[in-house]
Amino acid sequence: MDVLTPDQLPDAARLLTAGQMVAVPTPRWYMLCARAADPTATNAVFRAKQRPSTKPLLLLLDSPVTAEALFDLSDDARLLACGLWPGDLALRLPWKPGVEPIAAVGSPALVGCPDGALGWLVALAGEPLAAAVCSISTPAAREEDHPALTAAQVGAFERTTGAGIAAVVDGGICPHGRHMTIVDCPAGTPARLEREGTVHARAVEAALIPPGGPHVG
């Protein structure tokens, strides 16, 4: 497994294009990434994490514009994407009629538009990525199996699992060690906070107030 600097993100993108898996830092923890449209690459992520295929991966997009092209966005989903993307918010979204769902991310899909190194990587890849936390997935995870917060811990994960990670982008220590916030956004139905994480519930509430709506404070 190669260790790359953040300046070498273009090299990481080329590895992804070649069907490889890479690990990338976020403020939360390191994520395993692969081309979403490449079943061989996404299957490698499932195998590395010992993750059941019934637990879909996270889909990463470069912008709300791409989300609009692929998914049936409610008014609430658009407000959340406008107010909190890019960032640590994931939206559970239904695919647009006529768009073939990506098997590895399921239907509806859990969709993010990341910032930082991961956001740059999605942009450099030029296509959606599938991602998951660099750790053994439940139910296979043991009490001591924690998400990787450093590149060294990604290396330990690779040695223990033989995951086949081509490279890790060393971004130092990930400080938050928390999940993304998830909001379920069915078409034609008000958004519902599914899980609070690094994005505060009050931030979600604020983003859902349309322009010209009531001021809270």
Bridge pairing between strands 181-184 and 192-195: antiparallel
pLDDT digits (tens, 9 = 90+) for 30-54: 999 999 999 999 999 999 999 998 9
Alpha carbons 147 and 157: distance in angstroms, whole number: 9
Q: DSSP per residue over 91-135, as a string?
A: EEEPBPTTPPPPGGGTTTEEEE---HHHHHHHHHHTS-EEEEESS
Look at residue 215 in the predicted model and tell me its pLDDT: 47
Q: How confident is residue 213, by pLDDT bands cut at 50, 70 and 90?
A: low
Q: Is the pLDDT of residue 217 over 60?
A: no
Q: How confident is residue 214, by pLDDT bands cut at 50, 70 and 90?
A: low
b/e per residue 122-160 (b: at least 16 CB within 10 A)? bebbebbbbbbbbbbbeeeeeeeebbbbbbebbbebbee
Q: Is the pLDDT of residue 216 over 50?
A: no
Q: What is the mean pLDDT of the chain?
A: 95
pLDDT digits (tens, 9 = 90+) for 128-158: 999 999 999 988 778 888 999 999 999 999 9
SS3 call for 169 = strand
Tokens of 203: 């931030």
Bridge pairing between strands 31-35 and 129-133: antiparallel
Query: Mean pLDDT over residues 167-186, rounded?
Result: 97
Q: How confident is residue 212, by pLDDT bands cut at 50, 70 and 90?
A: confident
Prediction pTM value: 0.95
Task: Give the whole-number percent of the chain exceeding pLDDT 90.
Answer: 91
Query: Mean pLDDT over residues 98-119, rounded?
Result: 97
